Amino acid sequence: MNLNTKRWPYMKHNNSIIKLLISILLIGFAFRLFFYRSKEFATDVVAVTAFVNETEVPKNQTFGSIPIVEPPVSVAVPGPEDHLEDYDDEKCDLFIGDWIPNPSGPIYTNASCPLIEGHQNCMRNGRPDSGYLYWRWNPRACELPQFDAQRFLDLMRNKTWALIGDSISRNHVQSLLCMLSTVEQAVEVYHDEEYKSKRWLFPLYNFTVSVIWSPFLVEAAIFEDNNGVSTSEVELYLDKLDKKWTDIYQGIDYLIISTGKWFLKSAVYHENDTVIGCHYCPKRNLTELGFDFAYSKALRSVMNFIATSHHNGLIFFRTSTPDHFENGEWHNGGTCQGTTPVKEGEIKLKDLNQILRDIELVEFKKAASKAAENGVSLKLLDYTKLLLLRPDGHPGPYREFHPFAKDKNATVQNDCLHWCLPGPMDSWNDVIMEMVINWLNKSQS
């Protein structure tokens, strides 16, 4: 290679000038970029401040169709920062905590979500107070971020959920769909003949949510109408799981399975295709075995199926929820008049609810260790005590549309079992999202 050494000093000098010019340009560009980002940051701060001011709950306005009462402000509310990386399910019990004021209120209304069933649509039905809307669940040992619908849908792209159980599961699925509807409205793509089992699709995410009607989780012949009036005892097959959920079980990525209150009904018990006894069947010459016997047997069958299923998704078992009937029950004039949450120790779980819960915890504990050995992810959603503190969250007489419109002293059916939407049940989804992301983090590590 022939180098022209005479040109080298000139080229070296010329290169030095070029380098100097480039350095000046880079310094100028950096200064301009810094100045621009500083202005942009200041603009962002102003915008965020304006947004916070605009989203404060205004006084003397309306939420949906009823007046807003001034929300409680006695406790500072932590922000919605995401602390999932710090969450440790062995150190933080998400189900021990308190209901704290949430001045921002729910993220949806009965007007924005068309999926709320009439009996849980307390605002539309004329419930006069709204304070029950302004609380959220706060675990004592750790912070719980509020539900992020956009992030949840991103995580659930091409996934499937199923909520399996009774009308409380239907109540819950409405809450979940309403919260997700703030990002995309779900499209109903299936329902059974009685409209008790349904499936919805979020098209943009190819994400499906199903509710499967199976109030006992085992096979049952039920002879009652929509108002709970029975013409005969339930025929319950304790050793045969309900195929409505077992047939689709392996194809679902995430499941929430629950039961409970239906076992309190009069029922005849079958095992090995033989009648073995009953619960509250005075007209039949059968051995009284008690609902606790049947509940233990049925849950044991369910839990054994799950623990040995080698399912590779995430399965939740949800404990039964308490009711707040006072001065009677559903069938004999019980009511619920609460308008605020109560504190731990101010209310006691009813004996029947305690029996159900004790059975659930015993059977879950036995199944959890077996599930872990088989690589099945089985988690407990222990909402019993969480909801015990919310006697204000039920529809009460407002399960029907304006029940006192014609007569202020009318005797009406109260619902102190299901939950108003929006309402306390929405906090369930805060907990579920935290547990799901923690499980995803661990399974991917």
Which one from 418, 426, 427, 430 is the annotated catalytic residue?
418
Q: Which residues of 344-357 are buried (b: 16+ CB within 10 A; e: fewer)?
A: eeebeeeebbebbb
C-alpha span between 305 and 367 (Å, rounded)? 9
Cα-based distances in Å from 215 to 68, 222, 354, 413: 36, 10, 19, 22
| Burial (0-12, 13-18, 19+ Cβ within 10 Å), 91 | exposed
93 is catalytic: no
The CA-atom distances, in angstroms, between 271 and each of 99, 145, 187 are: 43, 46, 40
Contact 233, 278 (CB under 8 A): yes
What is the C-alpha to C-alpha distance for residues 218 and 244, in angstroms, rounded to an integer? 10
Q: Which of 442, 300, 310 is nearest to 373 (CA)?
A: 310
CA dihedral 169, 103, 64, 390 (to 10 degrees): 40
The yes-or-no answer on residue 310 being catalytic is no
Q: In Å, what is the CA distance from 155 to each residue of 149, 314, 386, 418, 425? A: 10, 14, 26, 29, 22
Asked if residues 257 and 306 have their Cβ atoms less than 8 Å apart, the reply is: yes
Angle separating helix axes 167-180 and 426-444, nearest 10 degrees: 80
Cβ atoms within 10 Å of 95's Cβ, excluding its own: 16
Which one of the listed residues 130, 167, 169, 175 is annotated catalytic? 167
DSSP string, 257-274: EE--GGGGS-EEEEETTE
Residue 418 known to be catalytic: yes
**Residue 257, C-beta contacts closer than 8 angstroms, at least 6 positions apart:** 164, 165, 217, 245, 302, 306, 315, 316, 317, 318
Interatomic CA distance for residues 432 and 438, integer angstroms: 10
Whether the Cβ atoms of residue 105 and residue 131 lie closer than 8 Å to each other = no
Of 433, 443, 201, 168, the residue nearest 321 (C-alpha):
168
> Which residue of the set 415, 426, 427, 430 is catalytic?
415
Catalytic residues: 167, 415, 418
